[in-house]
């Protein structure tokens, strides 16, 4: 699959620019319709950096192809299917990058934006099979099936978030790369369980994996959350869980999970080393600088750096 990575970072041929702009516009119109966003075709074009002349050319082409109707101006069923094929390609490729590449999460979206225009349905099917036909991309967006059907989603929070609520994270918006990078530093990921503890006009504070984190308030708008029932077992585990980096010498802990932010090669490596649910872990020795640390797990001493150990979730005895 390395050729897919090479194609994602290679320059685009000039002759494909118009087709890609057309498909970007088609997908943006579909998204605006699905989210019932109040916008205009001109505003969408401006967001994509399209000139008035290019916009007119794109709309005319889509109407002639039967992907848009002129009165009123909106996507036809055929146009929606084409948009869904692009969305499927984009989200499958993001999932592939998360599981099988070393690229940073901040890079996935832009790379998928390029590859979605070039992946054949056969390539999509091969990647989906490799990934065991995932239902969601790394950010929590649903992946259309090969028949272009979308999986059902959970009821979301639409009102005011009250401090003290326990929530499950379903989706992280990644359009703002700088903001997404800040969110990613906390290791939030789909299915993360967190508690909002404070909301101010500038920021919000939350408890996640035993640690307190602070993000600008605008980041809350990028998170799609659902409230957990007070009796949900995930809440009790979230209260007890800590990252392995919180373990002190002389303590022993039980490994309960790997963080949902631990993906791909890192997740597979930690599991191969024995850091799996039910294993007991303790510290054998620290390096002179305190990093890495040698942990004893399943009778073996394994040296991990802090940036690796933080993915392992424990409950102290």
* Domain boundaries along the sequence of the chain: 2-130, 166-235, 241-316
pLDDT tens by residue, 203-234: 999 999 999 999 999 999 899 999 999 999 99
Distance of CA 262 to the CA centre of its chain: 12
Full-model pTM: 0.79
**3-state DSSP assignment of residue 87:** helix
- Write out residues in the chain with pLDDT < 70, as ranges: 1-16, 38, 153-160
Compute the distance between CA of residue 219 and CA of residue 204 in angstroms, rounded to an integer: 9
pLDDT tens by residue, 15-34: 457 889 999 999 999 988 88
**The pLDDT value given to residue 4:** 53
Residue 298 sits at the vertex; the CA angle it makes with 293 and 301, to the nearest 5 degrees, is 30
Compute the distance between CA of residue 220 and CA of residue 204 in angstroms, rounded to an integer: 8
Architecture of domain 241-316: Roll (2.30)
**The pLDDT value given to residue 268:** 93
Domain 2-130 has CATH 3.40.50.300: no
The closest of 294, 277, 275 to 285, measured between CA atoms, is: 294
**The pLDDT value given to residue 14:** 44
Sheet holding 293-297, edge to edge: 242-243, 312-316, 252-258, 280-286, 293-297, 300-304
Q: Note whether 2-130 and 241-316 share their fold.
A: no
Architecture of domain 166-235: Roll (2.30)
């Amino acid at each position: 699959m390395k050729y897919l990575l090479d194609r994602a970072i290679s320059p685009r041929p000039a002759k494909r620019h118009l087709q890609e702009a057309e498909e970007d516009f088609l997908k943006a119109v579909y998204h605006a319709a699905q989210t019932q966003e109040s916008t205009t075709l001109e505003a969408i074009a401006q967001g994509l950096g399209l000139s008035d002349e290019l916009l007119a050319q794109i709309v005319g082409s889509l109407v002639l192809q039967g992907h848009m109707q002129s009165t009123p101006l909106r996507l036809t069923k055929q146009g929606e299917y084409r948009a869904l094929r692009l969305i499927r390609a984009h989200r499958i490729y993001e999932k592939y990058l998360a599981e099988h590449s070393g690229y940073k999460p901040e890079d996935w979206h832009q790379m998928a934006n390029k590859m979605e225009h070039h992946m054949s349905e056969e390539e999509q099917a091969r990647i989906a099979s490799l990934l065991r036909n995932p239902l969601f991309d790394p950010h929590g967006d649903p992946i259309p099936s090969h028949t272009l059907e979308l999986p059902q989603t959970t009821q979301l929070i639409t009102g005011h978030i009250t401090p003290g609520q326990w929530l499950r994270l379903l989706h992280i918006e990644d359009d703002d790369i700088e903001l997404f990078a800040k969110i990613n530093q906390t290791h939030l990921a789909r299915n993360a369980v967190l508690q909002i503890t404070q909301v101010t006009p500038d920021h919000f504070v939350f408890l996640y994996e035993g640690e307190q984190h602070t993000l600008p308030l605008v980041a809350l708008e990028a998170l799609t959350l659902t409230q957990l029932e007070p009796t949900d077992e995930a809440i009790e585990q979230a209260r007890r869980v800590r990252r392995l980096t919180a373990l002190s010498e002389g303590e022993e802990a039980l490994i309960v999970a790997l963080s949902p932010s631990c993906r791909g090669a890192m997740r597979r490596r930690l599991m191969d080393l024995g850091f799996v649910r039910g294993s007991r872990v303790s510290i054998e020795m620290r390096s002179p600088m305190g990093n890495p640390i040698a942990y004893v797990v399943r009778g073996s001493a394994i040296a991990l750096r802090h940036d690796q150990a933080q993915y392992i979730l424990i409950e102290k005895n």
